Amino acid sequence: MVVILIGYMASGKSTLGRILAKKLNYEFLDLDDFIEKKENAAVSDIFNLKGEIHFRALETQYLKELLASKNNLVLSLGGGTPCYSNNMETILNADNTKSIYLKASIPTLITRLKNEKSTRPLIAHIETDDLLAEFIGKHLFERSQFYSLANATITTDNKIANDIVEELVLQLF
């Protein structure tokens, strides 16, 4: 089975994905890391040198490649992946795949992101918590229609990682 974790940046996709994969004895992959290895370039460099449209095409290509694999896999997607190129439809129609939306509130996301701005190019320029809240809120408004199509939703606010992973396992089996 391929377990797909979707959600906004800092919702816990990579952290929880690693723990879940270990618990299930599955392979773990972060789609952005996979793209960087395949393209031998950082995602930020791909964006800067070739543009977002090129990056989104690569994202779709590699997502389809990974969905076609018969391996047991936990796959963490970038926050925008489900929102482009009919990727969410591709995920929902793929065989032996389960998608889970890791839902975090705006206050939770602000708390997690405000100290990570230097490593998150999308928000590095945002100076205040209020502006960050506005940015996140706008994105969530645009993206929630895609995220909400996932096979299951788990809220991550005020929960420890191991408890969330237990919820994930219950959703899967």
Average pLDDT over every residue of 33-41: 96
Structure tokens of 74?
């936990």
Q: What's the pLDDT at 20?
A: 98
Report the alpha-carbon distance of residue 157 to residue 106 in Å, rounded.
10
Range 86-102 average pLDDT: 96
Which residue positions form the known binding site for ATP? Answer: 10-15, 120
pLDDT for 124 equals 80
> Which value, to the nearest 10 degrees, does the dihedral of the CA atoms of residues 89, 92, 95, 101 take?
130
Sheet holding 97-103, edge to edge: 27-30, 73-76, 2-6, 97-103, 152-155
pLDDT at 120 over 90: no
For the cut 80, the answer to whether the pLDDT of residue 33 exceeds it is yes
The annotation places the binding site for Mg(2+) at 14
Q: Which residues are annotated as a binding site?
A: 10-15, 32, 56, 79, 120, 143
Q: Are 7 and 13 in contact (CB under 8 A)?
A: yes
pLDDT at 133: 95
Mean pLDDT of the chain: 94
Q: Residue 153 pLDDT more than 80? A: yes
Calculated CA dihedral for residues 36, 27, 90, 152, nearest 10 degrees: -120
pLDDT: which is higher, 44 or 55: 55
Residue-range domain boundaries for the chain = 2-166
CATH code for the structural domain at 2-166: 3.40.50.300
- Asked if pLDDT for residue 89 goes beyond 90, the answer is yes
Instruction: Indicate the annotated binding residues for substrate.
Output: 32, 56, 79, 143
